[in-house]
Amino acid sequence: MAVADQQITERYSIYNGDCIEVMSHLKSNSIHFSIYSPPFCGLYNYSSDERDLSNCSSYDEFFKHYAFVVREKFRITMPGRLSAVHCADIPSANHGGDYLVDFPGDIIKLHVREGWQLKARHGIWKEPLAVRNRTMCKDLYHETIVKDSAKFGVATMDQLLIFVRDGKNKVPIMHPNGLEDYAGATKIPNELLRFKGHRGSQIENEYSHWICRRYASSFWDDVRLKHVLPFKESREEDDEKHVHPLQLDVIERAIILRTNPGEIVLSPFMGVGSEVFCALEKGRKAIGIELKASYYKLAIKNISTCGMTKCETGDLFDSISSVETCP
């Protein structure tokens, strides 16, 4: 497979290249979990590369190409294991952005067609003023309700869709001592701290029960929106918009709930390395793929700050020697 650059270490493997080209060399049934944000069709343009999904000429063309990712992801995921897709409703390009398109709904339909089943859906609260300032959506301005609130919009929540591949999961995802850390802004009640890491009957582990109830919620309202990896230096002069990476709280919750320590987490749209970084921080292995060079370079820098135990990912590939670096 042809990649522009790569780093293969005892802890992770990351690639600057097209995700389909890299994924095609991964062994079938070799990935325990994947988590990523696909390009939000029509909302952001990440690069001028013709292979970039954000540059598709239409909504339908986007899903035609994204289907290859979903299909390849199914092949390499172990039976009974999961994939998390971060997404949101997007403005309709056909109506000047005044109306919304059910982007998550269409992602679900595509996954079901390709053999996946929807396991869970979490809504992630977004602060309206921050959304307005970042997107410059006029329908979120106070001026809109003053003049005509029929045109007033909404700070659309993010969504984390959890899909499962059909089949029997041969290795249960277990938490023998319950959940030991909480990723979010809410403070755990002091009276529950004595149960952290409880080694007895988990029925009595009130600390873990408290976290479990919050993680099981269909709406995550305390994700720390600014708790992200550094990303500003990845911006290039010709970038159309500045994109905010996925919050580490969201990634950590998904990884802790859906994988065992030492298992493999894949991010086919790695960006600045958030999913890889979090996987390593939580004692998992990681594979990341990123098409845009400036994102990839910052991912290297971000991942280098992660301190975790060594692990091996190289044996996942049919032939590591087949990886060629483009001039």
Q: What is the pLDDT of residues 13-44, one digit of tens each?
A: 999 999 999 999 999 999 999 999 998 755 45
Which value, to the nearest 10 degrees, does the dihedral of the CA atoms of residues 259, 264, 266, 271 take?
Answer: 90
Q: Tell me what percent of the chain is helix, strand and coil, each rounded to the nearest 5.
A: 35, 20, 45
| Integer Cα distance of 151 and 261 in angstroms | 48
pTM: 0.88
Q: Residues near 252 by Cβ (< 8 Å), separated by ≥ 6?
A: 183, 278, 281, 282
Check residue 129 and give its pLDDT: 85
Q: For residues 30 and 13, give the distance between their C-alpha atoms in angstroms, rounded to a whole number.
A: 14
Cα separation of 93 and 43, whole Å? 9
Query: How far apart are the C-alpha atoms of 249 and 253, rounded to whole Å?
Result: 6
Q: Hey, where are the domains in the chain?
A: 2-174+222-325
Tell the residue number behind the tokens 């409703």, with chain if given.
Answer: 89
The count of C-alpha atoms lying within 13 angstroms of the C-alpha of 261, restricted to the half-sphere facing its C-beta, is 9
H/E stretch holding 77? strand 77-88
Burial of 289 (0-12, 13-18, 19+ CB in 10 A): buried
DSSP bridge partners of 100: 91
The answer to whether 36 touches 254, Cβ cutoff 8 Å, is: no
pLDDT by residue for the chain (327 residues), tens only, comes to 579 999 999 889 999 999 999 999 999 999 999 999 998 755 455 555 666 666 667 888 899 999 999 999 999 999 999 999 999 998 876 655 678 899 999 999 999 999 999 999 999 999 888 887 877 777 888 898 899 999 888 888 999 999 999 999 999 999 999 999 999 999 999 999 999 999 999 999 999 999 999 999 999 999 999 899 987 655 555 554 556 789 999 999 999 999 999 999 999 999 999 999 999 999 999 999 999 999 999 999 999 988 643 444 445 554 333 333 332
Write out the two tokens for 54: 């954000």
Residue pointed to by tokens 């869970």: 120
CA distance 149 to 153: 8
Q: What is the DSSP letter of 290?
A: E
Q: Strand 2-3 vs strand 219-220: parallel, antiparallel, or unpaired?
A: unpaired
Phi and psi at 120, nearest 5°, equal -160, 160
DSSP reduced 3-state for 287: strand
The answer to whether the beta carbons of residues 7 and 19 sit under 8 Å apart is: no
pLDDT on residue 38? 92
User: Can you give the pLDDT at residue 54?
Assistant: 64
Class of domain 2-174+222-325: alpha beta
